[in-house]
Structure formats: structure tokens, C-alpha cells
A and B are shown apart, each in its own frame.
Chain A
Amino acid sequence: MTNMEKPARLDVEGLSLSFGGLKAISDVSFSVEPGSITALIGPNGAGKTSMFNCISGFYKPQQGAIRCDGKDVSRLHPPQRAKMGFARTFQNIALFRGMTVLDNIKLGRHAHMKTNLLQALTYFGPAAREEVELRAEVERDIIDFLEINHIRHMPVGALSYGLQKRVELARALAMKPRILLLDEPVAGMNREETEDMARFILDVKEEWGTTILMVEHDMGMVMDISDHVVVLNFGQVIASGLPHEVQQDPQVVAAYLGSGDPAALMKRLAGEAGMA
């Protein structure tokens, strides 16, 4: 793997975000260890996607810091963060419909490329070289890796939902990620597609060594592949730890399933996890 980047450590410290009077996130702190898979879970409206948007720079939190390897990035614009190695996918697929799969993936590399306007207009020397090198690398490290060879020249609009999600992952991988933010990578997928995606995420962790932070509702998958779990509810961290610890935390169970008989619900949760 030629484009393997050094995985980053991410620290979120005392982050607060509000829209007008509405507090979406209040005083949230957690860390993502380099090279680990950390899952951010919580019921709908807990602030998970808001958290992601803060990390990638789309929202500006009112308080707190986001550190990448100790360096505060919370003042940086999204493109600057992308250049530092923050790569992400989106909850409701954000592929560029006017481009082919290949161009969507290549676009991910934008921040790391050097071709300037004049070179682009002439497609002379460095521009052509950079494009061909990128193409070769994308083919070798990403397209083969994610098994999307057969669709590389297709317009993304023509693809199935599961494949579109995979192309989004491919685009994020093209961003030379040091930390990969996956927003619900398997939402809406069937069992088989979910298993494929889980396998790809594990492969990314193992072969690329990238740090991964993901938001996911599929508890089975979260429990299976993550090293660390952070639970948000009403914009606050209510638990964090190893998957099986979090799973047994009564506060978590209550947050997810409301009040009721915790023992029975935990059993259901465990059962679901076992299935995957």
C-alpha cells in the first residue's frame, strides 16, 4: 500500500454546539485512539451527526476543541481539515451525480493534488502525469480493494444503494485519510450488503491502519467490529468503553429502549449482536 498514511489520534474536548436556543451537543469529550475503530452510537437526535459535522468543520461549535494529534483544528475550514486527512462519508449518500464512479473517487484526492489552472487547460506534462498516477493508484489500492472494477465507468446515479455507499467509502479512501469518519455506513442495507461493508471497514483498519470513527445504528455490527464505543444521548456522553461494557450499562439500555425490564432488553440486544 503506497498511500498508507500515519493514523491520527482524535480528541474531542468539552465540545458544545447549539442552534439558537437548542443545545445539540453539550460539553462532550471523548478520544479516538490511532488505528482503532470507534463507534459513536445513541438514539435518533442524540447529536451524532451534529458531532460529525463539527469534526469535519461544517458546523462551528461554540465551545471546546477538536484535536488531531494534539493540534486544535476547530478554527480550520473544512477543506483545510480534508487536507490534514479528515475524510468522511455521509448519512444520505452525497455522491456527485454528474460524474462517473471513477471521477467521484478521483475527486476525493483533490486537496492533495497540485495541478494548477494553466497546467489543467493544457493538460501538459505534470497535469497528465499526476492524473495518470492517480488513476493507477486508485485502480490498484481502492477499486480492486473494494471490488468495484465492473462499475468504474458508470454514472453513480445508475448504481444500487449498497454500491453507492461503497463508492462513497472509495472516495473517502482516495482522500488519503488519517481519520475516516463514516456516517451510518450500513444504514438501509440488507444483511449481505452489511456484511460486505463490515468486512471492508475491518480491511481498511487492518491493511491501511486508518483511524476510524463511525456513527451506526446497527448494534450487531457495532458490537462486532468496534474497539471502543461512545454513547451519546441528548447531546451528552452517557457511557463509553469496550463494546461489551457499554452493552451492559443500564443507562445505555434505558436510553435506547426506554424504561422497561432492562434484563430482558439486554438479552435482546445480546441476541441481535450474536446474529451478525
Chain B
Amino acid sequence: MSDFVFFLEICLAGLGSGALLALTALAFVLIYKATRVINLAVGEILMMGGYFFFTVAAGMSLSAWIAIPVAVAGGMAIGAVVERGVIRPMLGEDPISVFMVTVGLGSVLVGIVELVWGTDPRTLPDFMGTAPVFIGEAYVSRKIAISFAIAAVVIALFLTLFRFWRGGVALRATATDQAAAYSCGINVPGVFSLAWIISCGTAAGAGVLLGSIGGISPTMGAFGLSALVVVIVGGLDSVAGALIAGLFIGLLEALTGTYLGGEYKLVFTFGLLIMMLMIRPYGLFGTKEIERL
């Protein structure tokens, strides 16, 4: 096998995990756009999605086609409960305080997973098949290919909804100017709930895909941190930014992981984060905040 084909395979695998990163990044963007809050627990909600799927598909031996909707719905339920229970009462508080609340939330979710499912890593029952996919000569794992396709479809769906659906328009209006949106009759608290619910559902879905590729464990929430880098690089309020930065960082991690060693993956990702914060803190496509005296 030629070096080039090998390189190509690495790139394809990188794009595959990049699509998952982009999907997870979308969960950050959605909440940030609507509420100006960074939800650091996205990674842990993604993990919950993986465990919900595991419980239904492996624990109850039900079909994946039941388990997937259950996992997504579970994520949505967490989103709804968290938003109503702890985020809504903090409305109008410093976003930093809300950020720290989500740090606490992440800790709670990890603890719950360890309590209920234990600390050992687990594999999810296969539902995508294992026959490899070839693009030209290059081999791609079937799971990665399918995950890429699903992530692409979901992201496309989101972009469409943002533009044309009433709820999407309300969300964009709220993002632009909360008070103005409110006085136009948009149910702003409703939009907040909606953003949390959709975002957490998305994260949980991404968790099922991620878990079926690499298994699930109480530490898989760390994937959320890589996705956080994606949103910083792409711009916290930019869907397109999340998409492009997601693919880019997926590629970067795959290449550094292969050619330098797995331990270098995170260093490069977070080195990029610090560099980005120094050079262009609002990301490639983000909106610069204007400071007033």
C-alpha cells in the first residue's frame, strides 16, 4: 500500500471524527447563540447519550432503532430539566456564574454514570455493520463513514431549520437582540428552553455515534473539550465556523495522532486553542464583542 493511500485513509478518518466534533460543537453554538452561555457539560451530556443507548440496546436488548431515539430524547430531557431547574433561575446573572454551574453539572453527570454503570469502559452493540467502505483505494471504517454521513445530514438539517423554521428564526432574533425579540412577541424564555433541549439532544445523538466507534466510559466527556476548542476556533456564535473548524481539528488530531503519537493529539488541539485566543479571540467566523465604558 502506498504512503499516499495511507495518508488519505488517515485524512478520511480525521474528517469522520471531525464531523462528530462539528456536531458536538453545534451543541455549544446553539446554547451560546441563544443564551450567551457556554455549557461546559456538553461533553458529559454526550456521554449520557452513549449510556442511554447502551442501557436500551444492550441492557434491554432492544433494537438500535428504538435505542437511538431514546438516547436523543434522554439528552433532550436532561436539557429541559437543567434549563428549567438551574439555568432559568440564573437568568440575568453573569455568564461566568452560569458557566461555573455547568462545570458543576458535568461533575454531577460523571458521578451519576459511575454510580449507575460503573467506571469500566464498555462497547456499544453494533448497529451499523462492519463491512469496510472503500473510497477509491482508501479504506474507511464503516462506522466512521456512517457517522460522517449522519453528522452531515443533521448539520444540514440544522442550517435549513435555522433559516426557514419559525423556531429557528426566533432563535436567531433572540441571539441578535433579546429585548427586541421579546418586544416583538417572541417567547424568549421558550427559545432558551428550546435551545437547551435541541442542543442536549444533539449532543446525546453525537454520543451514540462516538460511543459506537470508540466505546463508552465515564471519561468520554473529554471529547466535549475538543469540541469546545472547535467552537473557539470557529467562533462561538457561528454554525459554519463550527463545521469548518470541526473538520479541520478532526484532521489535525488524526494526523498528529498518527505521525507523532496519540499523546500529542490533545497538545496540538489545545495549543491551537491558546494560539487562537491570542491571535483572533473571537474565532474565524465569530462576532467581535464591542466594549463600552
| Interface positions of A (Cβ within 8 A of B) | 53, 58, 90, 94
Q: Which residues of chain B (252-293) have a CB below 8 Å from chain A?
A: 293
CA distance A58 to B293 in the complex (A): 8
Q: Which residue from chain B places its CB closest to the CB of A56 in the assembled complex? A: B293
Q: Which residue from chain B places its CB closest to the CB of A183 in the assembled complex? A: B293
Residue tally, chain B, CB below 8 Å to A: 1
In the assembled complex, which residues on chain B have CB atoms less than 8 Å from the CB atom of A58? 293
CB distance from B127 to the nearest CB of A (A): 53
In the assembled complex, which residues on chain A have CB atoms less than 8 Å from the CB atom of B293? 53, 58, 90, 94
The interface residues of chain A, by DSSP majority, are classed as loop
Q: Which residue from chain B places its CB closest to the CB of A58 in the assembled complex? A: B293
CA distance A94 to B292 in the complex (A): 12
CB distance from B290 to the nearest CB of A (A): 9
Could you list 4 examples of A-B contacts with CB < 8 Å?
A: A53-B293, A58-B293, A90-B293, A94-B293
CB distance from B60 to the nearest CB of A (A): 53
CB distance from B132 to the nearest CB of A (A): 53
CA distance A90 to B293 in the complex (A): 8
CB distance from B93 to the nearest CB of A (A): 14
Q: Which residue from chain A places its CB closest to the CB of B293 in the assembled complex? A: A58
In the assembled complex, which residues on chain B have CB atoms less than 8 Å from the CB atom of A53? 293
CA distance A13 to B212 in the complex (A): 69
Across the A-B interface, the 4 shortest Cβ-Cβ residue pairs: A58-B293, A53-B293, A90-B293, A94-B293
CA distance A94 to B293 in the complex (A): 8
In the assembled complex, which residues on chain B have CB atoms less than 8 Å from the CB atom of A90? 293
Q: Which residue from chain B places its CB closest to the CB of A88 in the assembled complex? A: B293
Q: Which residue from chain B places its CB closest to the CB of A91 in the assembled complex? A: B293
CA distance A53 to B291 in the complex (A): 12
Q: Which residue from chain A places its CB closest to the CB of B291 in the assembled complex? A: A58
CA distance A76 to B22 in the complex (A): 44
CB distance from B97 to the nearest CB of A (A): 14
CB distance from B81 to the nearest CB of A (A): 33
CA distance A178 to B293 in the complex (A): 22
CB distance from A101 to the nearest CB of B (A): 22
Q: Which residue from chain B places its CB closest to the CB of A52 in the assembled complex? A: B293
Q: Which residue from chain B places its CB closest to the CB of A59 in the assembled complex? A: B293
CA distance A90 to B292 in the complex (A): 12
CB distance from A171 to the nearest CB of B (A): 15
CA distance A87 to B293 in the complex (A): 15
CB distance from B293 to the nearest CB of A (A): 6
CA distance A58 to B291 in the complex (A): 10
Q: Which residues of chain B (208-255) have a CB below 8 Å from chain A?
A: none
CA distance A53 to B293 in the complex (A): 8
Q: Which residues of chain B (182-229) have a CB below 8 Å from chain A?
A: none
CA distance A58 to B292 in the complex (A): 9
Q: Which residue from chain B places its CB closest to the CB of A53 in the assembled complex? A: B293
CA distance A2 to B145 in the complex (A): 78
CB distance from B291 to the nearest CB of A (A): 9
CA distance A176 to B267 in the complex (A): 49
CA distance A207 to B293 in the complex (A): 30
